[in-house]
Structure 1
């Protein structure tokens, strides 16, 4: 259960959201054995598939704080890279990033420059994967909940809320398809933070990433 302390929980909990999509329960139901087994595998299944491309959005589209990104995530090495747009849609500023949980590189005029750290929202992408399945028995004993079924982009999905960590109530929701694949992760509504694996072909790894981070994101 300690592995649920990934950035995905810390950031989504900090956003302090309580929104609920239509048709979903706010309080949820305890997990059945089958549901716990599904939830236990979902993050491991994503990471086991190799590098994944995810689409991330945060904030309302007309806000100066709006962020959208298309990122390739290497869960084994703990590195991500791709394009990030900041600002309202239509006038957003685009930049190219490469980062691990601690260090961020930004491309400026063809040169990769190091910043202190990635934004907490960007770091959430690493929490989408896990190096092994969760313990389904412990999940059933936790306050993880099944919230119901809801439509997302035309697909009916099962929606779960992750368990709390260190007494902080989790708001992270995981949307899972009929095959047990993670289709969406969010912080409780449609605006604050939504991340979707896209199924697109991963972008080639940037040479500057290896130079800056070395093997396994170090």
Structure 2
């Protein structure tokens, strides 16, 4: 089971207060809710000093795989195309005129594969973060407040009121609580996550249910990157 996310950087926000028992319980089950749903539609906004990237797609939290389309924002189209990723690899299919949404059935050719980088790439870090937002069991609600998780406020997301909660410190890195924010509904459903990544000027933002979820189909085949 993946641990709660922790990353460097100030994620901003209002003033914190301790979690209530209900809030701690909802934070504890929010990643498990994604796993229960099997898959979620996501939009990932990745910052960059030379322009950002937006990934629009789906994540299968049972199989731990994502699939979607990448568009550059404030930059050229050289990074545009289809993308599929796992915890260890990234498959890319460049496209000069990438669609708004990835086709439900991936094209059979034109794919290139490379390892998912553990550092040095805001995109790869963001893809890894998204996969980590699912867990096959709830977290320990009693430990979350002890490790610095807190309530930061309420906000409307797509017409619904949600609570903004800061995640706990990493088990091996004290003092890192609050660097990740979760927007969580009344039943523990995760609607948004914001996390700072390395030295990027803006946080990565992951929005759920921005479009209709399309199940992630197996990729027909890949060509190793040269």
Q: TM-score, normalised by structure 2?
A: 0.76
Name 2:91's counterpart in structure 1: 105
Name 2:28's counterpart in structure 1: 40
Q: 2: CA distance between counterparts of 1:18 and 1:201?
A: 28
Once the two structures are superposed, residues 110-130 of structure 1 have per-residue CA deviations (whole angstroms, 9 ceiling, x without a partner) of 411111225112211112111
Asked if structure 1 preserves the Cα contact closer than 8 Å seen for 2:60 and 2:215, the reply is: no
Q: TM-score, normalised by structure 1?
A: 0.78
Deviation (angstroms), 1:199: 5.9
Q: 2: CA distance between counterparts of 1:127 and 1:42?
A: 12
- Where structure 1 has 5 or more consecutive residues not aligned to the other structure, the ranges are 213-218
Deviation (angstroms), 1:154: 4.6
Indicate yes or no: 2:180 matched with 1:172. yes
Q: 1: CA distance between counterparts of 2:72 and 2:37?
A: 29
Look up the SS of the partner of 2:24 in the other structure.
helix
Deviation (angstroms), 1:66: 0.5
Q: In the alignment, which of 147, 161, 168 is matched to residue 163 of structure 1?
A: 168
Q: In the alignment, which of 125, 137, 162 is matched to residue 120 of structure 1?
A: 125
Q: 2: CA distance between counterparts of 1:204 and 1:40?
A: 26
Q: 2: CA distance between counterparts of 1:162 and 1:130?
A: 15
Asked if structure 2 preserves the Cα contact closer than 8 Å seen for 1:33 and 1:140, the reply is: no
Indicate yes or no: 2:209 matched with 1:198. yes
Indicate yes or no: 2:28 matched with 1:17. no
Q: What do you get for the CA RMSD once the two structures are aligned?
A: 2.5
Deviation (angstroms), 1:69: 0.8
Look up the SS of the partner of 1:35 in the other structure.
helix
Most deviating of 191-200 and 161-170? 191-200
Task: From the two aligned structures, give the one with the greater helix fraction.
Answer: 1
Once the two structures are superposed, residues 49-74 of structure 1 have per-residue CA deviations (whole angstroms, 9 ceiling, x without a partner) of 112110111227xx533111112111
In the superposition, relative to structure 1, how do residues 155 and 205 fare at CA in structure 2: closer, same or farther (>3 Å)? closer
Asked if structure 1 preserves the Cα contact closer than 8 Å seen for 2:39 and 2:215, the reply is: no
Name 2:144's counterpart in structure 1: 139
Asked if structure 1 preserves the Cα contact closer than 8 Å seen for 2:43 and 2:210, the reply is: no
**Displacement over 6 Å in runs of 4+:** none
Name 1:54's counterpart in structure 2: 42
Alignment of 1:146-157 (within 5 A): 146-157=151-162
Deviation (angstroms), 1:197: 0.9
- How many residues are treated as equivalent by the alignment? 195
Asked if structure 2 preserves the Cα contact closer than 8 Å seen for 1:64 and 1:86, the reply is: no
Q: 2: CA distance between counterparts of 1:199 and 1:117?
A: 25
Look up the SS of the partner of 1:148 in the other structure.
strand
